Every structure is written in C-alpha cells, then in structure tokens.
Copies of this chain bind each other. A is one copy, B any other.
Amino acid sequence: MRVVRDHLAEPVPDAFRLPIRIYWEDTDAAGIVFYANYLKFFERARSEWLRSLGFEQERLRAETGIAFVVTETTLRYRAPARLDDVIEVTVRVAHLGQVSIAVAQQAWRDGRLLAEGTIRVGCVEIGTFRPRRIPDDILTQINAPAR
C-alpha cells in the first residue's frame, strides 16, 4: 500500500543521501523547521550529489560558463522536523533531458517521510540565463549506474 510505504518505510535504497542537522536558523516560531528551508536542504543534497559525480558548481561556472538554475519546484510537507533533529535528504534523477533535469527528493527522519518533491533544474549560460545543453561528461556520469 503506497501510503504505508511512503511514510513508514526507508528511503529508496539506491538514492544518494545527505544527512543534515537542524539548527536554530532552520526553525520558526511554530517550533518546527520553516517549510521554505527544505528547498535549501534539497539544494545542499543536489550539490553534494553533483560533487559525488565529480562536479563542482563553482568550477563549472568558471570553466564552462554554465550554471544549473532551478526552474520548478513541487513540495509536499508531511511531518515536522525540529531543532537538533538529523534528517536525511535523498536525490534520485526522475527525468534527464538535454537542457534540464528533474530530480525527485525526499527528507526522512528515523524511517518517517517528512517532505518530498520534485525539483527541475535547467542548464543555462551565466549572465544571459539562456538554456544550454548539459555537458556530455555530466550526462554520462548521471546516466552511469550508481556505485
């Protein structure tokens, strides 16, 4: 049953994962993590995932004049996280195109799904923000089976 699997099961086994600690800066007056901050957590996980594939975004900018920009975000918030929690954020490629990638991401704590969503990032030229083809070496790395 899908609901059970989503909420109580563990994250997808082959997904990239980044543990993230919750600090004061992440919380709001309701005593929980401010929802907008999940976009930051998801971004950190995507950055570390790219890095794990061998790509640093600052170097990409300097060497190729391209950057990845977020063009669409869809998130559902299912349960709150709190100060001192360690959450685990996953990264899985949902769709790989020529100029953009759709990334499915989830945030978990102790086997409980806290938030999930899809982030679409486009490859653009620095300065003009015009779409550019994703470099072949990145496409190749992303397509390679997970280690």
Contact = CB atoms under 8 A, between A and B. Distances in A.
Given A29-B82, A73-B73, A43 B57 contact: no
A contacts with B: majority SS: mixed
A93 interface: no
Contact of A69 (B30, B58, B73): B30
Contact of A59 (B24, B34, B84): B84
Copies in the complex: 4
B70 A35 contact: yes
Interface of A: 21, 23-25, 27-32, 34-37, 39-40, 43-44, 47-48, 51, 56-59, 67, 69-77, 80, 82-84, 126, 129
B28 A25 contact: yes
A73 B12 CA distance: 23
A34 B44 contact: no
Q: Which 7 pairs from chain A and chain B are nearest by CB?
A: A27-B29, A36-B39, A58-B84, A58-B83, A35-B70, A25-B40, A74-B74
